[in-house]
Chains A and B, each alone.
Chain A
């Protein structure tokens, strides 16, 4: 293959579905790739599965996404790679059912599993990267531990003829690198090519974040028709260079600014962006605008991969209790300040036990906190937003109960909602460690429609 067209289908679980359908129908794609997992996705799915055994364990939008894109993908013979498997990549069987419903016969679906290592993390794990403590010290609280697999098992599934590959935890760029390795025959130790391909994967993995999403700032960085953003398409050459593009006639923008912002998104050292497949070097990249909404990206570098894989471990760490109430008009802030003082005393009186407590003024300092300028203007409207991190649900619920008290026992002119939702939520804290890559052998299961 001389040129490969790879499109993005989602950047996270809650992402829009229509741009994926558009890419499937009008993107002329060889591959459509879906990224649907955040750091705590697997742990949250494990907790849900424990409470509700009927929860299948894969992306709750699996049906919606597949039904939207299958007609277009089947017509064009576009292959699909997706990490919607979450804790159950054998959700591939549901895709087989959907393929049959679409009249597609003898289509091959592969499930890539093996990333879940909850049962053996205590034995494998060394040091927690964030705290320096031993993994063993948190072992009893670990709900889920999953390693970030690389592109190789997906490449193997494609080599075996899969039309659709569904995975559990795989590093996001690897979902996009895999088809490049497979189609261009890049070897797993060709780190120049793998660096280039993974860098492109990083540009695609956040969907609209490279096509004008998470970008517009009126008067400084304007974006045409920002309500109609497309997901990106990479036209990849065999040398690992590419043009980042999108379906014509859509809103949004692809330019040097959008590409640079996404290139550095969630990156620490841009010369050493570690993935399971390769260490990517963005500091050699060259960008060139080659047409409207078309950016050529070349010369992203690569260095040998590390001997380890990153593992995310989710732990139950208690509950957050939160709620808010409102002030407006002249003097809104002074009433909010008195309300804060009352709540601080009330929490003392009811002996609220917290690990952390915040009482913020939304409209003034709830987002930037201590970074809020001292001379920030006084807002016309203020929400007093209260959040506390507690060990037990009972303690966390005290937050909402004390805010209820502010309705008739608080400050003048207080706006307050009747509680309409659970005001205590579980915390799944995420820790990381490294394990030898040999300790996490992937597995491929094959299905056919």
Chain B
């Protein structure tokens, strides 16, 4: 039985956020196909929303793009009322995706050579 390592998401996936009104979409893309099932299993919509605490006011919907080894999280009420109304310095939420890079994820030890950075 192989053990697992706990690592930050930044070693497993890359991210980009985009804006539409008061909704932010945050794409989480596996660095390699081996990591994608780990994302699907561990990074649920509920955990994603909980990780952002009060920064996401509305619902989070998770879409799966298996062909891209990517999950797309659509977070409603994440942009302070909308790009033009927001009091945030980062009113487009361009840097919002970076927070999830700190999410803890369990990776089988056999994949340790596939981890990025670190």
Q: Choose from A220, A284, A371 the contact partner of B53 (Cβ within 8 Å).
A: A371
**Contact yes or no, A367 B90, CB < 8 A:** yes
Nearest B-chain residue to A285, judged by Cβ? B67
Pick from B37-45, B77-85, B105-113 the stretch touching chain A. Answer: B77-85
Whether, in the assembled complex, A203 has its beta carbon less than 8 Å from a beta carbon of chain B, the answer is: no
Nearest B-chain residue to A383, judged by Cβ? B89
Nearest B-chain residue to A358, judged by Cβ? B87
**Contact yes or no, A267 B102, CB < 8 A:** no
> Do A286 and B74 contact each other (CB < 8 Å), given the known contacts A217-B14, A261-B14, A268-B20?
no
> Do A130 and B21 contact each other (CB < 8 Å), given the known contacts A219-B117, A428-B84?
yes
Q: How many A-B residue pairs have CB under 8 A?
A: 138
Which residues of A (260-278) have their CB < 8 Å from a CB of B? 260-271
Q: What's the Cα separation between A268 and B25 when bound, in Å?
A: 6
**Contact yes or no, B68 A373, CB < 8 A:** no
Which residues of A (34-89) have their CB < 8 Å from a CB of B? 39-40
Query: Whole-angstrom distance from the CB of A14 to the nearest CB of chain B?
Result: 13
Mask, A174-198, CB within 8 Å of B = 1, is 0000000000000000000000000
**Contact yes or no, A220 B84, CB < 8 A:** no
Q: Chain B residues with Cβ under 8 A from A366's Cβ? A: 88-89
Q: Choose from A220, A371, A373 the contact partner of B117 (Cβ within 8 Å).
A: A220
Q: Chain A residues with Cβ under 8 A from B69's Cβ? A: 260
Q: What's the Cα separation between A261 and B15 when bound, in Å?
A: 7
Q: Choose from A268, A320, A367, A428 the contact partner of B87 (Cβ within 8 Å).
A: A320
Q: Chain B residues with Cβ under 8 A from A317's Cβ? A: 85
Query: Whole-angstrom distance from the CB of B15 to the nearest CB of chain A?
Result: 8
A interface, over-half SS: mixed
Q: What's the Cα separation between A428 and B86 when bound, in Å?
A: 11
**Contact yes or no, A260 B68, CB < 8 A:** yes
Q: Choose from B68, B84, B87 the contact partner of A282 (Cβ within 8 Å).
A: B68
**Contact yes or no, A371 B18, CB < 8 A:** no
Q: What's the Cα separation between A370 and B88 when bound, in Å?
A: 12
Mask, A353-366, CB within 8 Å of B = 1, is 00011101010001
Query: Whole-angstrom distance from the CB of A16 to the nearest CB of chain B?
Result: 17
Q: Chain B residues with Cβ under 8 A from A372's Cβ? A: 99
Q: Chain B residues with Cβ under 8 A from A356's Cβ? A: 80-81, 87
Q: Chain A residues with Cβ under 8 A from B18's Cβ? A: 264-267
Query: Whole-angstrom distance from the CB of A333 to the nearest CB of chain B?
Result: 18
**Contact yes or no, B99 A371, CB < 8 A:** yes
Between B10, B20, B68, the greatest number of chain A beta carbons within 10 A of the residue's beta carbon is seen for: B68
Q: Chain A residues with Cβ under 8 A from B10's Cβ? A: 217, 220
Q: Chain B residues with Cβ under 8 A from A387's Cβ? A: 87
Q: Chain B residues with Cβ under 8 A from A263's Cβ? A: 68
**Contact yes or no, A266 B25, CB < 8 A:** yes
Q: Choose from B56, B84, B95, B102 the contact partner of A373 (Cβ within 8 Å).
A: B102
**Contact yes or no, A267 B72, CB < 8 A:** yes
Q: What's the Cα separation between A185 and B29 when bound, in Å?
A: 35
Q: What's the Cα separation between A388 and B74 when bound, in Å?
A: 27
Q: What's the Cα separation between A342 and B80 when bound, in Å?
A: 24
Q: What's the Cα separation between A358 and B55 when bound, in Å?
A: 13
Q: What's the Cα separation between A26 and B99 when bound, in Å?
A: 39
Q: Chain B residues with Cβ under 8 A from A130's Cβ? A: 21-22, 82
**Contact yes or no, B72 A367, CB < 8 A:** no
Q: Chain A residues with Cβ under 8 A from B51's Cβ? A: 371
Between A262, A266, A269, A287, the greatest number of chain B beta carbons within 10 A of the residue's beta carbon is seen for: A266
Q: Chain A residues with Cβ under 8 A from B68's Cβ? A: 260, 263-264, 270, 282-283, 285, 287
Which residues of A (145-176) have their CB < 8 Å from a CB of B? none
Q: Chain B residues with Cβ under 8 A from A442's Cβ? A: none
Q: Chain A residues with Cβ under 8 A from B47's Cβ? A: none
Whether, in the assembled complex, A429 has its beta carbon less than 8 Å from a beta carbon of chain B, the answer is: yes
**Contact yes or no, B89 A430, CB < 8 A:** no
Whether, in the assembled complex, A369 has its beta carbon less than 8 Å from a beta carbon of chain B, the answer is: yes
Whether, in the assembled complex, A250 has its beta carbon less than 8 Å from a beta carbon of chain B, the answer is: no
Whether, in the assembled complex, A446 has its beta carbon less than 8 Å from a beta carbon of chain B, the answer is: no
Q: Chain A residues with Cβ under 8 A from B83's Cβ? A: 39-40, 430
Nearest B-chain residue to A426, judged by Cβ? B84
4 closest residue pairs by CB, A with B: A266-B18, A370-B54, A264-B27, A371-B55
Given contacts A130-B22, A264-B25, A372-B99, could you give 18 more A-B pairs where the C-beta distance is less than 8 Å?
Answer: A39-B21, A40-B83, A214-B16, A214-B94, A220-B117, A260-B29, A264-B18, A264-B72, A268-B61, A269-B72, A283-B67, A287-B68, A317-B85, A357-B87, A360-B89, A428-B84, A430-B82, A432-B21
18 contacts across the A-B interface (CB closer than 8 A): A40-B84, A220-B14, A260-B29, A261-B14, A261-B16, A262-B16, A265-B25, A266-B18, A266-B25, A322-B87, A356-B80, A358-B88, A368-B55, A369-B54, A371-B51, A372-B99, A387-B87, A388-B87
Binding site for B on A (CB under 8 A): 39-40, 130, 214-215, 217, 219-221, 257, 260-271, 282-287, 317, 320, 322, 356-358, 360, 362, 366-373, 385, 387-389, 427-430, 432
Binding site for A on B (CB under 8 A): 10, 14, 16, 18-23, 25, 27, 29, 31, 51-56, 61, 63, 65-70, 72, 74, 80-85, 87-90, 94-96, 98-99, 102, 116-117
